[in-house]
Amino acid sequence: MVDAMIFIHLFYRILTSLLLYINDFITETLKEGPIPRHVAFIMDGNRRYAKQNSVTVAEGHSAGASTLKQNLDQCFTLGIEVISLYAFSLENFKRPQEQVDTLMRLLESSLLQIHGPNTFVEKHDVQIRVVGRLELLDENVLSAIARTMDATKDNKGKVLNICVAYTGRDEIATAIRDTVFGCGSPAKIKESSLTDNMFMEVPVDLMIRTSGVYRLSDFMLWQCHQYTPIEVVERNWPDFGKVDMGVILLRWQRRRNRVLISSTEGHI
C-alpha cells in the first residue's frame, strides 16, 4: 500500500511538471506570432455546467468566475492588451429575480476581490472599466464598481472592460444621442464621431463564445468588423481552459498570416 501511494505521488508530480512544461511551451510559441490586441468573451454555459455536474446555479457561476481569473491571467501574459467580458445583459433582468440577485452578489464579491494584492490585476497593471446602464444596478453593486474602478484608474498595463446591464444596440443608441448632442447638427456626424462615443472604442480582433451557441447575443455590434473572427467553442465556460485558448489563438495567427500574405500579393 505504501509503495502504491509513493508511486501515485511521484506520478502526480511528474504529470504536474509535464503539464507546466507544455503550458510554458505553448505560451512561448504563441508569443512568437501576432497577438490580437482586443479579445471579447461571451462567457456562456455556467447554468449548463451546473446542470451537467449536479450543482446549484450559483456554484456553476462561481466555477465560471474561477475559470475567468485563470483565462485573464493567460491572455494578459500572452500580450493581449484589451479584454471585454459580457458579464450581464440588459435582457438578463428578465430572468427570475433569484438568479438576478445571485449574479449581482457574485459580481459584487468578484469586483471587491479582483484588484487585491497578488492578483492578475496587480501582476499585469490592469485598468478595470465597468460599462453599461449602471444606473439600473443596486447601491451595493454600484459601490463595488466605483471602488474597483477608482483603485485601478491609474493602471497603464492592460484594460479589462466588464459589460454589465449592457447590449450592443443600447450602446449604439446611447452613442447616437451623445453624438447628436455634441455635434449640434446631424450633417456633422461621421462614423468616427460615433466610435468616439462608444463605451469601448477599440475594434474587436477576436470574439469567443463558449457553450456551442452560434449567436452574438447583442454584444459589441459596433466594435466587430469585417475581419473579426467569431470562435464558438462547444465547452461550457467553466470548462474553458488554457489549451482551448491556445488552440484558438493558433488558428487566429494562421488566419492573420494568410490575410497578410493575400494583402501583400494583391499589391505586387
| 202 CB neighbour count, 10 Å cutoff | 15
User: String of b and e for 52-64 (b: at least 16 CB within 10 Å)?
Assistant: eeeeebbebbbbb
Contact by Cβ (8 Å): 42, 217: yes
Say which residues have a Cβ less than 8 Å from residue 205's Cβ, sequence separation at least 6.
36, 37, 38, 39, 227, 228, 252
Active site residue 101: no
Catalytic residue among 92, 155, 170, 178: 92
CA gap 145, 162 in Å, rounded: 10
Active site residue 140: no
Among 159, 143, 55, 150, residue whose Cα is nearest residue 107: 143
Among 181, 185, 179, residue whose Cα is nearest residue 201: 179
Catalytic residues: 44, 92
